[in-house]
Homo-oligomer: A and B are copies of this chain.
Amino acid sequence: MKQSQLSYFIRRQSPKDEEAANAQILIRAGFVDKVMAGVYSYLPLGLRVLKKIEAIVRARMNELGAQEVLLPALTPKEGWEKTDRWATFDALFKVISRDKREYALGATHEEVVVPLAQKSIASYKDLPFGLYQIQTKFRDEPRAKSGLLRGREFLMKDLYSFHANEADLDRYYENAIKAYALIFQDLGLDAHLTEASGGTFSKLSHEFQVFHESGEDHIAYCEECGFSQNSEISDLTEKSKCPSCGKSGIRMKQGIEVGNIFRLYTKYSDPFSLSYKDSEGNDTPVLMGCYGIGISRLMGALAEVFHDEKGLLWPSNVAPFRVHLLALTGSEDKTAILKQAERAYEKLREQGVEVLFDDRTDVSAGEKFVEADLVGIPLRVVVSEKTGNLFGLKLRTDEKERLVDFSEITKYCGDIR
């Protein structure tokens, strides 16, 4: 994409009405716009990142054999009454229509997916299966000060799985853990599988925690063996022996919860009488699991983890573009430089490389460099009077640029693609 054709939302200054580092830098770099507390617009660069995160998650859900659906945001009151959450779920946004029907804005979708699942379940032969959704959800958060980490409106992937027995639920749960580990690996994030409360059930749930000072959660983590437990269920301190390896490796960490998985058993099956006929024809309750990943929260977590004082440093899998091509046209041979850059742009695009081409002629070299660092595309390629027939190549993480010929750029693109 040519930068001259991209609307200019880069602000370069931190917004004054934003406390969270992730939102501050994403607004400065023109990825999101704050509409109000906990509610953001995703601008062209930001939406590209969001869609890449979405695609990574979707691919792993499909590998797991789950099927994608799209559920409504307007969900009927009746379902929430069945599960007793209409009155007790404080963060539900409620809506009344002109004809006096009451809805909740989907904060989570058990109340919709359970009656839906029943329509495809008759006997044990129809189990197991998984339905997932990637869509906007809503929560009336009392404080929404963490930018994209805790929004009133946010993009979420939720997977719901349905099983005939506990062994099958456990098997699926383990597979979901593996899929999640691959997702965070794809995203370039170091996420720790962490024991957390199972709610009213005996078994634990699990969270995936990215350790970072911006995280709201407190985690007891063993540096010796990797054991990790949310402090909400842990009385471990840095003086404790690790309950897993027995060594003195416990450190207290702050964590951003980027995923959570629960065995729901029959918590939602019971109120909706979700059941199947077993091989002897008896009606038996379906067991369920649920598996969430915050897509927009992940974008916030990536911005928290991958930035420096100059700007963002996107991992290549989620970067809005792979290459930021800068034509520095300050000199007199503007036409020759633009021509050489244009040729490189076309050649890279032919090879399927996503390039943002800064073809603007009314912006100084200094400004282009500053903005390229702010936007944080992994590979910067410069064409200028000084580069001659070569190109100035610099990874966002490098200190210095070096001169290379075109073949070396494509080699780099291969590596980071």
Contacts and interface: CB of A to CB of B under 8 A. Distances in A.
Interface of A: 5-9, 11, 33, 35-36, 39-44, 47, 50, 65, 67-76, 90, 93-95, 97-99, 101, 105, 112, 116-117, 119-120, 125-126, 129, 131, 135-136, 138, 140, 142, 152-153, 362
- The 6 closest A-B CB pairs, nearest first, are A42-B70, A7-B120, A44-B67, A39-B72, A41-B71, A74-B153
Contacts of A125: 362
Contact of A40 (B72, B94, B135, B142): B72
A76 B69 CA distance: 29
A349 to B, nearest CB: 14
Given A9-B119, A33-B116, A153-B73, A68 B47 contact: yes
A393 to B, nearest CB: 28
Nearest to A98: B140
A68 B44 contact: yes
B47 A69 contact: yes
B67 A97 contact: no
Contact of A41 (B39, B69, B140): B69
A138 B73 contact: yes
A339 to B, nearest CB: 22
A369 to B, nearest CB: 21
B44 A98 contact: no
Contacts of A74: 35-36, 39, 93, 138, 152-153
Given A36-B101, A41-B72, 12 more contacts: A7-B129, A11-B119, A35-B72, A35-B74, A40-B72, A43-B69, A73-B73, A73-B138, A93-B97, A94-B95, A95-B105, A97-B152
A141 B41 CA distance: 26
A44 B11 CA distance: 41
A295 to B, nearest CB: 11
A129 B4 CA distance: 11
Contacts of A8: 120, 126
Contacts of A76: 35-36
7 contacts: A7-B126, A33-B119, A40-B72, A41-B70, A73-B136, A73-B138, A97-B140
Q: Which of A75, A94, A98, A142 has the most CB of B within 10 A?
A: A98
Nearest to A42: B70
Contacts of A97: 93, 140, 152
Contacts of A43: 69
A263 to B, nearest CB: 21
A62 to B, nearest CB: 9
A34 to B, nearest CB: 10
A35 B117 CA distance: 13
Contact of A93 (B42, B95, B99, B112): B95
Nearest to A1: B67
Contacts of A9: 119-120
A36 B74 CA distance: 9
A10 B201 CA distance: 35
Contacts of A101: 36
Nearest to A109: B41
Given A7-B129, A112-B35, A69 B44 contact: yes
Given A41-B116, A140-B98, A50 B70 contact: yes
Contacts of A7: 67, 117, 120, 126, 129, 131
A290 to B, nearest CB: 17
Contacts of A36: 74, 76, 101
A42 B101 CA distance: 22
Q: Which of A41, A42, A116 has the most CB of B within 10 A?
A: A41
Contacts of A136: 73, 135-136
Contacts of A71: 35, 41
A42 B136 CA distance: 15
